[in-house]
């Protein structure tokens, strides 16, 4: 009995894995074409100061508008992009798209909000990252202050990236650590990071009201961030209870479904002034 269940489980796992691999193959095969055909779109998720209700920034999040399958989230294809060696190309597209959008909004007379872009580890191996960035900013006549780069802890931790991070900071580009607290829990390394901002990961936020451990971790992150002068934002806030907790514990900057889901550019426009 147990044995056959084990076998069935193994079979299921195998099938799932096979489907996943097939999907990955399909994705990497069409990625080039997708880039050429401009099938990618960006959605923008507002970041809110929960005390004032003001929108303080937004994050650009990529989606693939597949001709048959419709809108596909990045969770399904980002790994394939990495594997296909297309991440630099994709990030370049994201950067250009964001800048062109910001430029449009500015021409409409809207006040620009700082927009963050996710920069994956592999992009840091592009030695011209900063030159390329400035070329794009120049083309759209935008200042560095309109952008923020989100990197993960594993990127931030690599000492070989420090010079580039330092250079970014020197040119006024904000850099934040995404998914903070999920990978390396030692707070000691924070003192070495040439970054400005911490994004508390959703896994802790979802524990608010449920797990005192998560609540304690959040309070500790808030304390450390304020002592070390890091800006702070909480990700994945879905409920009023979570928002209230964060306000009460001095983390009023919030990004999450409770306020806004990521929205297409023309919908975000309605919330800008």
Binds Mg ion by CB under 5 A, chosen from 92, 97, 148, 150: 150
* Of positions 4, 36, 53, 75, contacts ligand C2E by CB under 6 A: 75
Q: Are 62 and 90 in contact (CB under 8 A)?
A: yes
Site map 231..270 versus Mg ion, x via CB under 5 A: ----x-----------------------------------
Helical pair 240-248 and 212-227, crossing angle rounded to 10 deg? 40
| Crossing angle for the helix pair 162-170 and 129-139, to the nearest 10 degrees | 30
- The packing angle between helices 87-107 and 129-139, to 10°, is 30
Q: How many residues does the chain have?
A: 273
Nearest to 60 by CA among 255, 259, 272: 255
Residues touching ligand C2E, count (CB under 6 A): 22
Q: Does residue 73 bind ligand C2E (CB under 6 A)?
A: yes
CB of 12 to ligand C2E, least distance (A): 26
Out of 28, 118, 155, 253, the residue judged to bind ligand C2E by CB under 6 A? 118
Q: What part of residues 11-50 is at the interface with ligand C2E (CB under 6 A)?
A: 45
178 binds Mg ion (CB under 5 A): yes
Strand partners, 198: 177, 232
Applying CB under 6 A, does 57 fall inside the site for ligand C2E?
Answer: no
The listed partner (Mg ion, ligand C2E, none) that binds 120, CB under 5 to 8 Å by sort, is ligand C2E
Single out the segment in contact with ligand C2E by CB under 6 A; choices: 73-81, 154-162, 167-175, 214-222.
73-81
- Cα 184 to chain centroid, rounded: 18
Q: Using CB under 6 A as the criterion, what x/- string covers residues 216-235 for binding ligand C2E?
A: -------------------x
Beta carbon of residue 24, minimum distance to ligand C2E (angstroms, whole number): 16
State yes or no: residue 200 binds ligand C2E (CB under 6 A). no
We find the least distance from the C-beta atom of residue 256 to Mg ion, in angstroms, to be 11
Q: Nearer to Mg ion by C-beta: 59 or 92?
A: 59
Q: Does 195 bind ligand C2E (CB under 6 A)?
A: no
Q: Based on the shown chain and the rule CB under 6 A, indicate whether residue 263 belongs to the binding site for ligand C2E.
A: no
Binding positions for Mg ion, rule: CB under 5 A: 118, 150, 178-179, 235
Binding positions for ligand C2E, rule: CB under 6 A: 45, 61-62, 73-75, 78, 94, 118, 120, 150, 178-179, 202, 235-238, 255-257, 262
């Amino acid at each position: 009995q147990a044995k056959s269940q084990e076998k069935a489980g193994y079979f299921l796992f195998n099938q799932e894995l096979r489907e996943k691999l097939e999907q990955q193959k399909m994705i990497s095969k069409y990625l080039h074409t997708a880039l050429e055909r401009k099938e990618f779109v960006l959605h923008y998720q507002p970041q809110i100061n929960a005390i004032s209700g003001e929108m303080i920034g937004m994050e650009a999040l990529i989606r693939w508008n597949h001709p048959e399958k419709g809108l596909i989230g990045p969770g399904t294809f980002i790994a394939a992009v990495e594997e296909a060696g297309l991440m630099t190309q994709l990030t370049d597209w994201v950067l250009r798209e964001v800048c062109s959008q910001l430029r449009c909004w500015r021409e409409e007379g809207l006040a620009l909000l700082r927009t963050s872009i996710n920069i994956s580890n592999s992009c840091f191996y592009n030695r011209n990252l900063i030159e390329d960035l400035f070329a794009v900013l120049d083309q759209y006549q935008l200042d560095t202050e309109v952008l923020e780069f989100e990197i993960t802890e594993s990127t931030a931790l690599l000492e070989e990236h420090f010079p580039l991070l330092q250079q970014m900071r020197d040119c006024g580009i904000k850099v934040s650590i995404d998914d903070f607290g999920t990978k390396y829990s030692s707070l000691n390394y924070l003192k070495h990071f040439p970054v400005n901002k911490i994004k508390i990961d959703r896994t802790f936020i979802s524990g608010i009201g449920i797990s005192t451990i998560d609540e304690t971790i959040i309070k500790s992150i808030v304390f450390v961030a304020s002592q070390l002068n890091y800006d702070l934002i909480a990700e994945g806030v879905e409920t009023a209870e979570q928002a209230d907790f964060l306000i009460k514990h001095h983390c009023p900057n919030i990004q999450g479904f409770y306020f806004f889901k990521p929205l297409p550019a023309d919908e975000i426009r309605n919330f800008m002034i």
